[in-house]
Each structure stands twice: as structure tokens, then as C-alpha cells.
Amino acid sequence: MKLISKSIFLDYLTCPKDAWFRLNKPELEEFEISETQQNIYNFGNETEVYAKKLNIFLGAVEIKSKNSEAKNEVDALIAQKVTAIYQPAFIADRYIIRCDMLVWNKPSEKWDLYEIKATTSRKDTGERDHISDVAFQAIVLERYGISVGRTHVVHLNNEYVRAGEIDIEKLFVVSECTTKVEARKLTITDEMEKAKQYLNQEKEPKDGCECHFYGRSSHCATFSLSHPEIPEYSIHDLVYIGKSANKLRKLVENGIYHLHDIKDTSDFTDAQQNQIETHKTNREIINKEEIENILNGYAYPLYFFDYETFAPAVPVYDGYSPYQRMPIQFSLHIIDKKGGPLRHTDYLHEENSDPSGAVAKHLVDNIDPLGTVLAWNVGFERSVTDELASRVPEHETSLRRICGQMQDLMNVFSKQYYVHKDFRGRSAIESVMNVLLPEMTYDHLPYTGQDVGFVWWSDIVNKGEKQSDRANKIHLIKEYCKQDTLVMVEIFRILNNVINKK
């Protein structure tokens, strides 16, 4: 019988079938860790490094031995009642855990349990909640023979603002959750036993994945393996269908998975009806009048604008809070007058210093008070610029003005003025680009938008690569940002052709 880890158990609570695959077929390509995922895991590791320095953990002994030697070391430390133990592992009743920190509570003669999370709050409900996480550990500890006292979640403080050296005590919030954990233990025990039996089935279970009752974004990694009868593009891709649980459940229970099998669309939203109609008829929906109204509302010069940001768990510069975004670069494609030529400028901060001042200055120098700043999903660019204005008072007025000049090119698509069956209900720039600009691609660029910040921090700012590699990476992430704004330019041109077409 295989050991059930905390991670596998929490996966089981989310989707039992997916957890079975993770335990029994970990070699599946669905479980390959991407560079982006690894970077996120690194945030968690970094957070633990800082949390270990909290006063409550002073004197903690870190477990570094392996296998049976590690067990002997842990048992000896438990018997000695040392101040604290970092990452001790325990196996009991075919469950295995590795605790972040156990602290000996001398007055209560019990071990207090601390779980360290790289989040900015304690998650009490929902998928992979922290209460179930800690309750699972507490049960295994007790079955091992350890008397557990108080339980806690240690998480990042979203109100902390760095000023000088990191203040460890202010960076974290130590949140006691003993009462909630005790209540959760009453129900989780039965779930643990069911998980052990289900996950240790030798043959792949036929049941256990109910992700077909959720929208596409909530599907497990192995959804296609559990539901081969459901097409790659299905009712689960209908826009916002995940927020209409009853509607989706009714379709699934009636065996309707293909959009062309939906007969009555009267109960669907306008956006969903458009998505179904374009799929069935293979015809676009184009509202020239509304598209023209939007484009005519743009004042020249036009600035096609995109940021790339870095938002580390532990702030690296003064004035930032955990996960607060810092703009590290931007791209601007500019058309000064209608029918005029296209020009481009950009900025990438290459020094190990807060980029705020330099980014702000380059923006203000390149965006005049007249004109329209176009972004895709403009809420992101506007909020980053608004935060930038708060940090750079000498440019605050100009940056607030730039926020006021911003408009969202995505509105043409999100407001359903241009609907194509191959958008599949989405209005993300990649979805629109793939349909309207199939010749354009990001394939020549090795990074995603999520990767750029990590590359900037590890390989450019901190010069972790040799000089030639660093120069190449600078080029690549500048090209990535430039591609984003160039795509917007080309989509804008296509929209102009659409409204001018007789």
C-alpha cells in the first residue's frame, strides 16, 4: 500500500481521480513542472527561508538526514524536547507528512505546529485550504504518538512595506487556528480513510472526477483522461459557464457536450448565444457601427502600451509589499497621426535597483498629454501606473494623466462587437491573435509573460548568467514585450479595414 502524502490528500479533496493519477502515474506529461510553476514553488521556498528567522523559531534544528537516519534523528530530538524542529518527517498509518516547524511548548508539555505559507492571508475554505492542510498534519502527528498543542498558519503580511532591511517580525503574520483545526479533524478523519482506500486501488478507478460539472478553468490536469468522451472544445468553454452551475450540470446530465448539440439557447447569456451561433453557422458576428464608434473615440497620437512586471513574495526594494507589482519594462508602439507611420520605443531596467523612477520618467517623456494610450485588458496597465504614481511623487501628476488617457482595445471583443467561432468565447490577446493574425507567433520567444519577471530578476538584474547569455536574455524579453504591442497595432489595423470594407 502506497503512502499518502499531505499534497496527494489535498489533491484528493479537490479531485479524487486526478489524485489517483498523481500517486500511481506520476510520469504522465500532465504533471510535468513548467518553468513558471517552478518559479512559483521557489517563492514558497524563499518564504520559508525568511520565516525560519522568526523569534518563535530561534534555535530550531533543521533535519538534513534521510530515510531511517532522519527518523532516528527526529525521534531523538522529540525525546530531548528541543526548542524547535524544522521540517521533521513522520509516517503513521500509511500517511506521510513533513512539518514546516514543530515548537516545544514547555508550559503545556505539547508540540505546537506551524505551517508556513507564501500567501498573504490564511485560507480557511475552498480548494487546498490551510485548515485541512494543518488538520491532516495534526492527525498524523497524533497517530505517530506526538502530543499536539496549538496549531498555526504563518503567512506573509500584505500590510508590510519594506523600509531598509527586511523586518522579519513584521513581514509575517502568525495566525493561530487551533479551534478551526480541531473542528476540521472531526470530519477529515473519515475523508483520510476513504482517500487511502480509493488512492490505493491497483486499477484506474472509473469514478472520482466530477470536474465535468465545472467550467474549463477549474478542470483537473487529467480531465481528458477521465472524460475521453468530452471534446477538447466543449460546453465547458462557454464564456462564464462555470458561474452557472445548474445550467452546466443540466447539459452534462443530458449528455450534451458539443456546442452544436445545444438546441434551445434562450436560457443562455448574449455572449454565450453568440459563441454558440458562430460555432454552429461558421459565420462571424461583426458590429461595424459599434466598432467604428470605439475607434473614432481614440484621439491621436495612439500609444499601444504594455508593461512587464515582477512581483516577488518577499519585497526586494524599499516601498514594496509582498507580491506588489513593480514595472520592470514597457513597450510603446506609436502612431502620431491617422495614416501616419509606426514608430517604437521601449525601456527595460537593467540595474539592481527599484525601477520605478526610471520607468516613470521614460513613460512621461514618451507619452504626450494629447492622444490615447491603448492597452489590452487595460485594468492591469492602469493599476500598475496608478501604483507607480504613488511611489514617484515628482511624476505623479503626469502618471495620473496617463491613466486617464488609457482605453481598452479588448473592448471590441469583450463587448461582443467582433465574435469569431475560433475565439472560443475568449477575448485574451493570444486568442484573438491566433485567429486574426495566424502568421504572428510567440514561438520564437522562449518565455511567457509570467516568466519574464523571474528571468529579469535572476539573470539580468543579478547577472546570474555569463555576459553573452545575459545580453541575449535582455534581447528576448524586450522582444516579448514588443510583440505584445505590435500585435495590438495589427489588430487595430484589421479593425479599421473591417469598418472601411464596403
What domains can you pick out in the chain, each with its CATH number?
4-199 (3.90.320), 229-282 (no CATH), 290-500 (3.30.420.10)
Q: How many residues does the chain have?
A: 502
Mean pLDDT of the chain: 95
- The closest of 269, 264, 304, 272 to 488, measured between CA atoms, is 304
Say which residue the cell 473615440 belongs to: 297
Q: 204: how many CB neighbours lie within 10 A of its CB?
A: 13
Average pLDDT of the residues in 433-441: 95
Residue/partner pairs of 379-387 with CB below 8 Å, 24 or more apart? 379/408, 380/307, 381/305, 381/306, 381/307, 381/406, 382/406, 384/307, 384/309, 384/325, 384/327, 387/324, 387/325
pLDDT at 468 over 80: no
**Distance between CA atoms of 191 and 189, rounded to whole angstroms?**
5
pLDDT at 465 over 80: no
**Distance between CA atoms of 399 and 134, rounded to whole angstroms?**
45
* 3-state helix, strand and coil shares in percent for the chain, rounded to the nearest 5: 50, 15, 35
Of 322-331, 333-342, 351-360, 446-455, the least confident: 446-455
State the cell numbers at 67: 530515510
pLDDT classification of 67: cutoffs 50, 70, 90: confident
pLDDT classification of 331: cutoffs 50, 70, 90: very high
Assessment of whether the complete model's pTM goes beyond 0.85: yes
Q: Provide, rounded to the nearest whole percent, the portion of the chain with pLDDT above 70.
A: 99
pLDDT at 463 over 80: no
Going by their DSSP bridges, the two strands 95-98 and 4-5 should be labelled as parallel
pLDDT at 502 over 70: no
Torsion sign over Cα 192, 198, 199, 201: positive
Average pLDDT of the residues in 329-357: 96
State the cell numbers at 289: 457601427
Residue 464 has a pLDDT of: 64
CA angle in degrees (0–180, nearest 5) for 369-372-377: 130
Bigger pLDDT: 147 or 460?
Answer: 147
